[in-house]
Structure 1
Amino acid sequence: MGLSGHCLCGAVKYTVDADPLLVGYDHCDDCQRQSGSTYSLVVVVPKDKMKITGTTKSFAGKGSSGNAVHRIFCPSCGSPIAHDPDAAPDIIAVKGGTLSVEDKKNLKPETEIWTVSKLPFCSEHLAKPFEYMPE
């Protein structure tokens, strides 16, 4: 399949030469803050299959594992591109809203993570929710 996307201003582009490993809603507080929304649509892919072009910046916060989570974004427009957790070095979570229009239309979210932080007015429920990050 493969995926592609870009930030709002187009300065950062990426391709992924793989199908998603997981597509879901991430309700963690950090994703809510980074997205400015109630959750972040994440598309987890193998890190070695993603290629980012353009200048990015990152902010490293501490994840629930105690390890850093690097939040990659465009320094020009601020669009979040992905988050890269040190606790899971083989994967990267692409922010679904930055995918190409066609790729976004083909996404099928299959789960929710960090539902412990899910806001009470988010009523949509998917099969196989996880209260925290799946192990």
Structure 2
Amino acid sequence: MPLTGHCLCKAVTYSADVDQPAIVAYDHCDDCQRQSGSTYSLVAVVPKAKLTLNGPVKTWTGKGSSGNAVHRLFCSECGSPIAHDPDAAPEIIALKAGTLDTEIKKTLKPDTEIWTVSKLPFCQEHLANPFEHMPQ
């Protein structure tokens, strides 16, 4: 069964013809923190040749730590980040796992953390007193 997903407004959809991502990682790099507006970005890495993207995707290109370009794909309508595509690893693309279809992302099991050199010191796997929703 392929991995499928979409942006917030559903203008961009995608399908990766794989059963599972090659890697599911917490990406702590500073660029992913800024793009996601959070402490890390959960990514699902798939072979780029297996990905089909549809819809109005825009790209912003920056420079990775390798010195090579990293292309960040996002929906031009709602701004949802979709993936990042590093020139340093041209065979893969890192999908923003939060954009996967709900039933698929519920099955994800992160297997690694990357860019932990940029991991914020307060990030912990489990925090005390979690709230199921926003506290009232």
Report the counterpart of residue 5 of structure 1 in structure 2: 5
Distance 2:2 2:121 in 1: 35
TM-score by length of 1: 0.91
Identity %: 73
Larger radius of gyration: 2
Name the TM-score, length of structure 2 as normaliser: 0.90
Matches within 5 A, 1:82-97: 82-97=83-98
Q: How big is the shift at 1:61?
A: 0.3
Q: Which runs of 5+ in 1 are unaligned?
A: 126-135
1:49-103 Cα offsets, whole Å, 9 max, x none, are 0000011000000001100000000011000000000010000000000000011
How far apart in 1 are the matches of 2:116 and 2:100? 24
| C-alpha separation in 2, matches of 1:92 and 1:106 | 20
Task: State the AA in 1 paired with 2:97.
Answer: G
Unaligned runs of 5+ in 2: 127-136
Distance 1:92 1:74 in 2: 16
- Partner secondary structure for residue 34 of structure 1: helix
Q: Secondary structure at the match of 2:65?
A: coil
Is residue 50 of structure 2 the alignment partner of residue 49 of structure 1? yes
- Divergent runs of 4+, >4 A: none
Aligned equivalents of 1:76, 1:55: Cα separation in 2: 7
Distance in 1, Cα, partners of 2:29 & 2:116: 7
Paired residues in the alignment total: 125
Task: State the alpha-carbon separation in 2 of the partners of residues 105 and 123 from structure 1.
Answer: 20
Q: Could you tell me which residue of structure 1 aligns to residue 115 of structure 2?
A: 114
What letter matches 2:70 in structure 1? V
Please state how far the C-alpha of 1:124 moved relative to its aligned partner: 1.8
Equivalents in 2 of 1:104, 1:85: separation in Å? 23
